[in-house]
């Protein structure tokens, strides 16, 4: 409860606004439910694609120079960031109803996306929306997990087995 500014009493505080990912997931579930109800037959559950943001090695320094306050969020160096993304992907993989993808972010792409929508690129919801947009467009997104003998999602050029699967 919070006290109103005019001293007339108290009123309940409003709940925090859900994150962009939560709102998108809720909307997708509602849409799937409506389609199932309208079709009159049961359909397989819709597989949600979760796209995680990843700063490739060639974009890391530019991102850190342009938005230094993001570095603690992503890790102090690129290798730490890459390991964090792999760990998050593995955690999300435990949810069987989600397909996973990795969106390779670019500094200029994020800046343009934010500028076009009058958003702050340093805000996590803006970066999540940009990654989701890359996922919808199908550009710069790699399906995860790759086969062990395929090139790794991180862009190192090594096979997944020799790279992120081994170093995870």
Model confidence over 94-108: pLDDT tens digits? 876 778 889 999 999
Determine the pLDDT at residue 9.
56
Determine the pLDDT at residue 1.
46
CB of 52 closer than 8 Å to CB of 99: no
Q: Mean pLDDT lowest for which of 16-20, 44-48, 68-72, 158-162? A: 44-48
DSSP 36-77: HHHHTS--PPPPEEEEEEE--HHHHHHHHHH-GGGHHHH-SS
Determine the pLDDT at residue 4.
47
**pTM for this one?**
0.68
Please state the rounded mean pLDDT for residues 1-12.
51
Parallel, antiparallel or unpaired: strands 141-144 and 2-3? unpaired
- Establish how many alpha carbons lie within 13 A of residue 93's alpha carbon, considering only the half-sphere containing its beta carbon: 12
pLDDT in tens, 107-123: 999 999 999 999 999 99
Distance CA 105, CA 128 (A): 10
Residue 42 has pLDDT above 50, yes or no: yes
Residue 6 has pLDDT above 60, yes or no: no
Strand partners, 101: 51, 143
Q: Mean pLDDT lowest for which of 2-6, 78-82, 96-100, 138-142? A: 2-6
Please state the rounded mean pLDDT for residues 44-59.
80
Please state the rounded mean pLDDT for residues 130-142.
86
């Amino acid at each position: 409860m919070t006290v109103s500014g005019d001293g007339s009493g108290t009123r309940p505080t409003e709940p925090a606004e859900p994150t962009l990912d939560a709102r998108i997931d809720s909307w997708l579930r509602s849409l799937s439910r409506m389609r199932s109800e309208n079709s009159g037959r049961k359909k397989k559950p819709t597989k949600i694609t979760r796209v995680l943001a990843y700063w490739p090695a060639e974009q890391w320094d530019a991102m850190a120079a342009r938005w230094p306050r993001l570095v603690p969020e992503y890790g102090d160096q690129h290798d730490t960031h890459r390991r964090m993304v792999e760990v998050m992907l593995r955690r999300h993989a435990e949810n069987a109803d989600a397909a996973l993808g990795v969106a390779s972010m670019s500094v200029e792409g994020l800046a343009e996306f934010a500028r076009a929508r009058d958003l702050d690129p340093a805000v996590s919801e803006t970066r999540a929306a940009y990654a989701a947009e890359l996922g919808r467009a199908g550009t710069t997104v790699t399906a995860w997990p790759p086969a062990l003998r395929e090139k790794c999602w991180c862009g190192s050029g090594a096979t997944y087995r020799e790279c992120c699967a081994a170093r995870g």
